[in-house]
Structure 1
Amino acid sequence: MFANDFDAHYAWRREQAQRLQHLIDVLAARDLLDVGMRSRIERLQRHLLSDKVMVAFVAEFSRGKSELINAVFFAGYGRRIMPASAGRTTMCPTELGYDPELPPCLRLLPIETRLQPQSLMEWRTAPERWKRIDLDVNDAEQLAQAIDTVSEVQWVPVETARALGFWHDERPDDNPPLNDDGLVEVPRWRHAMINMAHPLLKQGLVVLDTPGLNAIGAEPELTMSLLPMAEGVVFVLAADAGVSKSDLAIWREHLAAGAREAGARLVVLNKVDVLWDDLSAPEAVQAQIERQRAETAHVLGLPAEQVIAVSAQKGLLAKVRGDEALLEHSRLLHFERALADKVLLRRRDALGSQLEVLRTEVLQAIGRHEQREAAVRDEQIEELEGLRGKNAAQMTQLRRRIEQEQQEFDAGAMRIQALRSVHMKLLRELFGSLSAQALQTEVAGLSSALHQSGLKLGVRRAYQETFARLHARFAEAQRKADEVQAMLRGAFRNLNAEFGFSLQVPGTLDLSAHAASLREIEVAHADVLSLTNAWRLAQAAYAQRVAKAILERLKRVFDEALEDVETWNKAAAAQVDAQLRERRRHFAQRLETIQRLASASEGLEERLADLRMQQAAHASDMQALRSLVEGLIVPEPAPTPASSAV
């Protein structure tokens, strides 16, 4: 079951975060945790603890989408939680998640906010504009009744429906019917957010339930921000009808571009129980289902294994009644298995890759530290062995030589400030290339084109020119990053030669993943600005929401790139600081040893034996530390097996 697999995924994340905390403590105790390393570990630790996995369910009305959500996530309540009666149910996009800072509640944003320019993201920061209904999570009846509010509608004049995006003069066949008073039915709410301490939601699951084509098309943030954030998107169809005209419009206009991300999309042929026929042989029924799967996969351009036949209603009933045979017949568990495979395994692999990179970096840092410590102790032992038979005057001379070396080192270390100055100059240029101000400058032309009144015939060209400049800016940032690294490589080589350091230039700052995200945004949202959508872009409020949705998604890419630059820079700067501290500590240790020998407070052979013991103990400690780091990543338990084919 998906719930069991998600429990295992959550437990794996927590265990990895605990292991990282132990690693932080162990490295700090050995003075191996510089600012850069601490920053990288804590960043990944926060990611593991707060990671959200969004699964979006998308469908036209009456495809059984809400029933599928009930069956997969809420069967434990013994009844339906999401409204799933005949006809239209979920009338507005609904997010289900958990925020410990809020009580269990349903928050509803009035549909009239569409008449204002603020984006959904901006409205999230204005809680006073949302209607709040407190939820009793221990009372399934009250919970269901409260959540049923998302299906509320209201009747408005055609002019209002047009302004809200539910009436289109250019596409009269898609308009809803008028009632006897000439009014149009529209949703009462624009967006709903359900906060409840459901076990899966507490563990980081976010479920996005989206309504039909009209609502999706009128909210560009859904397809330009929320859906791209989803780890998995489930597109629900009716098994008896296959892919209808409106289904195909949703897929082509809002989901197909994102389907380029392999495995990110699952298609469910729901209500397969309508094909169950006691008068037909089971083989004939199965053959009909397989034909529907194959035809659906062909129409949508997907592999057949991503199309799964399910009866959500029978699956929910089977879970509530504890009917294992009906549950198997409903095929619900096969959908849950596929959902876990496509969503949780992908998420775990992404997090595991980050852990692998961190593990490699930590092992390299341990190796460099071990080499430095071994070299220093070897130098100390050689120095002390040379003192055999020396008198007090000769020891005093050695002490003066060490002090002279220390003074020369301190004087030379001052030159490192010049290195820092050059480094910071180049770094400021790199940060400037990816700053919020730079982003605003590059999108200004597109924003201006989208804010023009009437038809926006030049907006597609402005879009292409904007992304061309953004791609150029990322290319420039990569060049600057390479320039910083080249400067550090030369500077570190000189410092290593002059001071005997073991500085190593951090791995290449690779911004290609962010550049790829930029390309994905460009491709995925190009259709929003196409001529086929010109009639919608002519509406000022819609065009403004498109502009904000594009900017918000681009801002996430730039912010993530800047965070990587910051982490990478800390790794470079921290190495220099750490080795400066180590060298000064070693000077102090050498002087202390000479002082103790000169004052006869410690014998030479005794001190040599102590250094050799320290050397062996340190080598043993480093080996134990490497073993700890090698075992940093633990495999996630295997998913719950499905018992038969989809």
Structure 2
Amino acid sequence: MERSRLETQLKAYEQWKADIIRTVKLYYRWLSKHRLATDDSVKRIRESLDSLSSDRLTIAFVAEFSRGKTELINAIFFSDFGRRLLPSTAGRTTMCPTELFYDQQAGQSYVRLLPIETRLQETSIRDLKRKPALWVTYPLDLESADQIEECLREVIKTRKVTLAEAVRLGMYDPQQHPTQNQPPDFVEIPKWRHAMISFPHPLLKQGLTILDTPGLNALGSEPELTLKMLPSAQAVLFVLGADTGVTRSDLEMWQNHIKGFQRSRQRGLIVVLNKIDTLWDELQDEVDINNAINRQRNHTAQILGIDLKAIFPVSAHKGLLGKIKDDQQLMEQSRLPTLEHYLAHDILDARQEIIRDTVTTEISQMVENTQGIVATKLNGIQTQLDELRQLSGKSLEMIEHMMAKTRTEQAEYMQNVNSFQASRKILKEQATTLRDALDLKKLERSITATHNAMADNWTTLGLQSSMRTLFDDMRANMQIVVDQSEQARKLIRSIYRRFQNEHGFSVVQPKMFSIMRYRVELEMLYQEAEIFRKSPVTAMTEKHFVVKRFFVAMVSRARDIFFQARQEVDSWLSTALEPLTFQIREHKEQMERRLVDLQKISRSRDTLDARVGELKAQHAAVAKQLTILRNIHNTLNSSYPLTAETRPKPKLVAARKTAG
């Protein structure tokens, strides 16, 4: 069977990443060879390489029960097996959030399950993943399809517990069942809290992760799903039934757990109108059937308030059947290829843009700064060459005049260097204020105080007030960072401009830190916290779980925002003046070398020709280094189409031979 569009595009995407990784490593070798690597630049390069190597494409599937979500996963990703890999028969549905991926480090297949009892711990799923002893693991026998199916059925298993235990686990809240006259004695709950499936599917081995989520109850009881896992996915597929349209529970899930927390998402939020085969009617012609599907599609777009282009009518069941039987007509009728085409192109294009905007932009700016340093060196050599050539046939008096002029320039230059040191001192003072506003220990004390206040005050108004106060404090600290970082940016620019204007340094764009990304993230989190704080669902939920959800989901995200901002501020402050420091040192050495050359020439004219020869050789070598850096920069910034067949090969052969 022909490889899927997504598999083809994902392979091209992985190849593109491999080209970027190769280029970054080439740049690292060049820096090391020419002794321009610093501790911070090495750290930044290693972080970029780690980010590229660990990058995964995550596609999340969200739906209420019986919408055909798991069947859709089988149809898109696992039809090559000729059977349903994931259990999706009638009456059987995913009961716990499930991640499908391939564990490259373990290099083996398994099902790893987290017992539901871990909900009693004040620990996030992310942290629990670091504690393998708490998980139950079943190895998968790839030679036995029956054994694989049996192990995968674990994700749909439930168990009955007493009402008291269900309430204690947060799986039942009497306030959310006001119509019940008599609470049940026993409640059926999922056996597992979270499942991780490592499987050697080609797509998963290429870096794809599939997040399969249960219905509304799980999203509500596991806020980490809604507030962390779904927002971090590159695509979220919200699956509806074409036979039912948007039901009340679908709309509640959309408003409270998807759309409200996806405002920053520009693309990748997709609605799948599944089971269109239920609208097929042999007594109607194709036009009438298409009109019925389009009416349901238009109605769905109107209710959810999204663009019609984001809604894909499909039949996952017929699509899976068409793939297994290699029935192209049935495949076309299922409309599954249209959805696959969108995932293969738009989603991967978006992921490629993110890497360009983060990793490649970071390294690209480092390369630009290095180019500036090398260009300054090249200009200095050219200036020396021009001066020495002009000395041919000149009198001793002229040479001494040039020596005096060079000493004057050197004295003026050293005054600017002293001024540079004073500016560094001012920048260091601003850095202290910046770091204080992002002090993680201070933030942790504030979080602890809020937690204690909420634990002592169980009224709804008291909890809401504590939530608001904590976020107000964090926003105030973030504003201090905004103000101080802007002052520091202006100071850094003025320092660079002075040396460029007065000493002809090559124009280098200093690394700049923008707090706006973190400020926007915190502001969006603040708005989400307001929705959570004022939500009727929150007011009806048992207060212990309100506190737990608030801290495990929202406060932990705020902590991450401050942690990442602090790391970036530290990196920025330690490297912002680094390119200029290299140029200042290089310029000082060249001025000293000019004086030495003039002194030697004043004593012996034979030195002149030899020195001109040396400088010519140096000029050629440095020009070659600059060409290598330009090739590296061009490769990092080249925009390749993802399709492997049309993607050009990077032009790094000559550079690699030279830099190696």
Q: TM-score, normalised by structure 1?
A: 0.88
Q: Distance in 2 between matches of 1:588 and 1:137?
A: 70
Other-structure match for 2:590: 586
In 1: Cα distance, 2:641 partner to 2:37 partner: 31
Match of 1:237 among 240, 261, 276: 240
Moved more, 489-498 or 372-381: 489-498
Q: Does 1:146 align with 2:127?
A: no
Question: How is 1:455-474 mapped onto 2 (pairs within 5 angstroms)?
Answer: 455-474=459-478
Tell whether 2:227 aligns with 1:197. Answer: no
Cα distance in 2, alignment partners of residues 555 and 465 from structure 1: 15
Contact 1:272–1:311 (Cα < 8 Å) also in 2? yes
Taking a change above 3 Å as real, the CA distance of residues 467 and 539 of structure 1, as seen in their structure-2 partners, is closer
Secondary structure class of the residue paired with 1:302: coil
Instruction: Give, in whole Å, the separation in 1 of the partners of 2:640 and 2:504.
Output: 43
Which stretch of the first structure deviates more once superposed, 494-503 or 449-458? 494-503
What's the offset of the Cα at 1:330?
1.3
Give the equivalent residue in structure 2 for 1:560.
564
Change (3 A) 1:92 1:177: farther
Q: Distance in 2 between matches of 1:639 and 1:245?
A: 41
2:575 to 567, 571, 574: 571
Contact 2:70 2:86 in 1 (8 A): yes
- Greater Cα offset, 356-365 or 81-90: 356-365
Q: Are the structure 2 counterparts of residues 451 and 224 from structure 1 closer, same or farther at C-alpha, using a change threshold of 3 Å? A: farther
Please give the per-residue CA displacement for 1:94-115, whole angstroms capped at 9, x wherever unaligned: 1122332334221111111112
Using the TM superposition, give the Cα deviation of residue 234 of structure 1 relative to its aligned residue in structure 2, in angstroms: 0.7
Partner SS, residue 256 of structure 1: helix
Gaps of 5+ in 2: 646-660
Q: Tell me, yes or no, if the aligned pair for 1:488 and 1:505 is still in contact at 8 Å.
A: no
Q: Deviations over 1:293-337 (max 9, x none)?
A: 111111111111211111112212222222222222211111112
8 Å CA contact 2:95–2:156 kept in 1: the answer is yes
2:8 pairs, out of 4, 12, 15, with: 4
Q: 5 Å matches for 1:42-61?
A: 42-61=46-65
Say yes or no: does 1:440 pair with 2:450.
no
- Name the amino acid aligned to 1:529: R
Match of 1:112 in 2: 117
Match of 2:174 among 166, 169, 175: 169
TM-superposed CA distance for 1:254, in Å, is: 0.4
- Match of 1:257, SS? helix
2:388, 2:612 within 8 Å by CA — same for their partners in 1? Answer: no
Q: 2:481 aligns with which of 477, 481, 486?
A: 477
Quote the offset at 1:491 in angstroms: 4.3
Aligned counterpart in structure 1 of residue 344 of structure 2, from 340, 347, 363: 340
Change (3 A) 1:283 1:357: same
* Matched position secondary structure for 2:461: coil
- After TM superposition, list the pairs within 5 Å mapping 1:13-32 onto structure 2: 13-30=17-34
Query: Which residue does 1:549 correspond to in 2?
Result: 553
Provide the C-alpha distance between the structure 2 equivalents of 1:368 and 1:101, rounded to a whole number of angstroms. 40
Q: 1:462 to 1:586 in 2, by over 3 A?
A: same
Q: Partner letter of residue 537 of structure 2?
A: N
User: Aligned residue pairs: how many?
Assistant: 638
**Partner-residue secondary structure (3-state), 2:174:** coil
The equivalent residue for 2:250 is 247
Q: Decide whether aligned partners of structure 1 residues 351 and 175 sit closer, same or farther in structure 2, where only a CA change above 3 A counts.
A: farther
Task: Give distance in 2, aligned partners of 1:176 and 1:384.
Answer: 102
- Contact persistence 1:481–1:509 (CA under 8 A): yes
- Structure 1 residues 493 and 353: alpha-carbon distance in aligned structure 2, compared to 1, 3 A threshold: closer
Distance 2:642 2:291 in 1: 31
Q: Distance in 1 between matches of 2:97 and 2:175?
A: 25
CA distance in 2, matches of 1:138, 1:231: 33
CA contact (8 A) 1:505 1:572 kept: no
Deviation (angstroms), 1:249? 1.4
Q: Is the 8 A contact 2:380 2:590 kept in 1?
A: no
Farther-moved stretch of structure 1 (496-505 vs 164-173): 496-505
CA shift in 2, pair 1:637/1:530, >3 Å: same
Aligned partner of 2:653 in structure 1 is none
Structure 1 residue 431 corresponds to structure 2 residue 435:
yes
Q: Distance in 1 between matches of 2:226 and 2:348?
A: 22
Further displaced range: 504-513 or 324-333: 504-513
- 2:221 and 2:94 map into 1 onto residues whose CA distance is 16
Deviation track 1:20-52 (CA, whole Å, cap 9, x = no partner) reads 222333455455655665555544343322212
Report the aligned-residue RMSD.
3.6
Distance (Å, rounded) in 1 between the aligned partners of 2:45 and 2:131 = 34
Q: 1:270 aligns with which of 261, 274, 289?
A: 274
Report the equivalent of 1:125. 130
Q: CA deviation at 1:183?
A: 1.9
Partner in structure 1 of residue 651 of structure 2: none
More off after superposition, 261-270 vs 234-243: 261-270
In the alignment, the residues of structure 2 paired with residue 497 and residue 236 of structure 1 have an alpha-carbon distance, to the nearest angstrom, of 60
Which moved further from structure 2: 494-503 or 123-132? 494-503
Q: 1:552 to 1:433 in 2, by over 3 A?
A: same
Match of 2:310 in 1: 306
- 2:162 alignment partner in structure 1: 157
Alignment CA distance shift 1:66-1:449 (3 Å): farther
Q: How far, CA to CA, are the matches of 1:503 and 1:324 in structure 2? A: 59
Question: Residue 211 in 1 paired to residue 191 in 2?
Answer: no
User: Which whole-Å CA distance do the structure 1 matches of 2:228 and 2:451 have between them?
Assistant: 17
Partner SS, residue 373 of structure 1: helix
CA-to-aligned-CA distance 1:565-617 (integer Å, 9 cap, x gap):
23322432312431244235435654775687689796423432442454356
After TM superposition, the structure 1 = structure 2 runs for residues 611-622 of structure 1, keeping only pairs within 5 Å, are: 611-612=615-616, 614-615=618-619, 618-619=622-623, 622=626
> What one-letter code is carried by the residue in structure 2 that aligns with 1:84?
S
Q: Given that residues 216 and 253 in structure 2 are in contact (C-alpha distance below 8 angstroms), is that contact kept between their aligned partners in structure 1?
A: yes
- 1:136, distance to aligned residue in structure 2 (A): 2.6
- Secondary structure at the aligned position of 1:81 is classed as coil
TM superposition shift of 1:55: 1.3
Change in Cα spacing, 1:144 to 1:178, as seen in structure 2 (3 Å) is farther
The worse-fitting range, judged by mean Cα deviation, of 523-532 and 325-334 is 523-532
Do 2:372 and 2:506's aligned partners in 1 also have CA atoms closer than 8 Å? no
CA gap of 1:460–1:454, structure 2 versus 1, over 3 A, is: closer
Identity of aligned pairs, percent?
31
Give the superposition deviation at 1:517: 1.2
**Aligned counterparts of 2:501 and 2:259: Cα–Cα separation in 1:** 56
Q: Matches of 2:592 and 2:54 in 1, distance apart? A: 44
With over 3 angstroms needed to count, the CA separation of the structure-2 counterparts of 1:604 and 1:262, relative to structure 1, is closer
Moved more, 137-146 or 166-175: 166-175
After TM superposition, the score normalised by the length of structure 2 is: 0.86
Helix, strand or coil at the partner of 1:154: strand
How far apart, CA to CA, are the structure 2 residues paired with 1:238 and 1:174?
Answer: 27
2:286 maps to which residue? 282
Query: CA shift at 1:8, angstroms?
Result: 1.8
* Aligned 8 A contact 1:372 1:502 in 2: no
C-alpha contact (below 8 Å) 2:510/2:577 kept by paired residues:
no
Distance 2:24 2:644 in 1: 27
Q: Deviation digits for residues 194-214 of structure 1, max 9, x if unmatched?
A: 123332223322211111111
SS in 2 for 1:184: strand
CA distance in 2 between counterparts of 1:601 and 1:34 reads 40
Q: Which amino acid aligns with 1:234?
A: L
Contact 2:406 2:591 in 1 (8 A): yes
Letter in 2 for 1:191: H
